């Protein structure tokens, strides 16, 4: 799940109760590039007896896998790496957080500049306001916040349209940000005591099944322990295919809704994820600690 610490719309302290009323027994909070929401969410979960896994989701550059620029690496698409059970104050993660925040502080105003050149009259202050980042420097400001301003100001009718027309990859006002290599992301998660898991593999667009397998195999060789098989973007056929891949590569399987609150249409707890996923993650974490 995501919270207001990044681009979700629910406060980290409120998420556990929402999850419980949706019938869930366990959740993980995996905000983009930040662990700032973890202490509040963990405390709230403990109060109501919900199993809580502290996490993070790091964006990595799909073209730079382990300093490997081979032609098989995808140039586009999204490579997100989940870190489960990370220590929220691990120095390596904090350092990465600073670096990624700087990258965003450059890229986000660039997108707003591009929009202004296209005649779209929004300001970066409006984006910070929507993100709740005016008084809180720890908030991770992202494209969904820019999309929200475009909706609020009437330039588009939906977040989806904002990405399609203006700020999605390849769209008119898009600007790329400096990202980590997969190796840097996996190393940071491991150093923070966490388990690195490939998030929503279907978002790595434009890969054949064989190319995906090769990519995951390389990531496993540098410390990846699992892949997210159940996700709101995955069809039942995707789940089957990815479960087969995990088996072949001896990786654990995880899952989640990727709930972001009201900014996306994803509902808490959909798709359903068996509690065995949480149990396996806990077991893998115990093995790691030994
Ligand atoms: P950023 O890290 O600021 O580049 O923004 C990434 C966020 O934008 C992630 O939460 C994505 O899920 C979201 N995102 C990317 N593409 C789209 C899209 N076409 N529609 C809605 N959200 C998107
Ligand atoms: Zn993601």
Q: pLDDT, tens digit, for every residue of 123-144? A: 999 999 999 999 998 899 999 9
Using the atom order of ligand 1, give the atom closest to the CA of residue 59: 2
Rounded to the nearest angstrom, the distance between the alpha carbon of 247 and the centre of ligand 2 is 22
Tokens of 162: 């904002």
The answer on pLDDT for 40 being more than 50 is yes
* Number of C-beta neighbours around residue 89 at 10 A: 11
CA angle 199, 200, 201 (to 5 degrees): 95
pLDDT value at residue 67: 43
**Whether pLDDT at 25 is above 90:** yes
pLDDT tens digits for range 85-132? 999 999 999 999 999 989 999 999 999 999 999 999 999 999 999 999
Centre of ligand 2 to C-alpha 200, Å, is: 7
Q: Output the CA angle 188-79-40, nearest 5 degrees.
A: 55
pLDDT at 78: 84
d(CA 75, CA 250): 27
Q: Is the Cα dihedral 151, 154, 160, 165 positive or negative?
A: negative
Ligand nearest to the CA of 105: 1
Query: Which ligand 1 atom sits nearest the alpha carbon of residue 32?
Result: 2
Q: What span, in angstroms and rounded, lies between the C-alpha atoms of 226 and 224? A: 6
From the CA of 260, the nearest ligand is 1
**Whole-number Å distance between alpha carbons of 284 and 263:** 33
Positions of E strands within the chain? 26-29, 51-60, 79-84, 195-198, 224-231, 252-256
The answer on pLDDT for 66 being more than 50 is no
């Amino acid at each position: 799940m995501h919270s207001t610490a990044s681009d979700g719309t629910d406060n980290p302290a409120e998420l556990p109760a929402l999850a419980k009323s949706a019938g869930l027994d366990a959740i993980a909070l995996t905000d983009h590039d930040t662990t700032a929401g973890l202490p509040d969410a963990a405390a709230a979960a403990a109060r109501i007896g919900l199993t809580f896994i502290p996490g993070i989701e790091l964006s990595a550059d799909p073209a730079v896998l382990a300093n490997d620029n081979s032609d098989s690496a995808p140039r586009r698409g999204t490579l997100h790496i989940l870190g489960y059970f990370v220590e929220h104050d691990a120095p390596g993660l904090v350092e990465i957080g600073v670096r990624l925040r700087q990258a965003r502080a450059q890229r986000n105003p660039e997108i707003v500049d591009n929009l202004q050149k296209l005649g779209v009259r929004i300001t970066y202050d409006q984006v910070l306001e929507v993100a709740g980042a005016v008084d809180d420097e720890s908030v991770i400001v992202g494209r969904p916040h820019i999309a929200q301003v475009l909706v609020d100001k009437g330039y588009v009718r939906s977040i989806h349209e904002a990405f399609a027309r203006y700020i999605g990859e390849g769209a008119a006002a898009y600007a790329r940000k400096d990202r980590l290599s997969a190796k840097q992301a996996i190393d940071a998660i491991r150093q923070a005591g966490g388990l690195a898991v490939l998030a929503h593999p279907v978002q790595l667009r434009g890969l054949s099944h064989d190319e995906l397998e090769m990519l995951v195999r390389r990531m496993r060789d540098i410390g990846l322990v699992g892949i997210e098989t159940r996700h709101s973007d995955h069809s039942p056929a995707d789940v089957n295919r990815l479960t087969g891949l995990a088996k072949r590569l001896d990786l654990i399987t995880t899952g989640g809704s990727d709930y972001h609150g009201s900014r996306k249409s994803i509902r808490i707890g959909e798709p359903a994820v068996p509690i065995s996923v949480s149990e396996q993650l806990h077991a893998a974490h115990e093995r790691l600690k030994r």
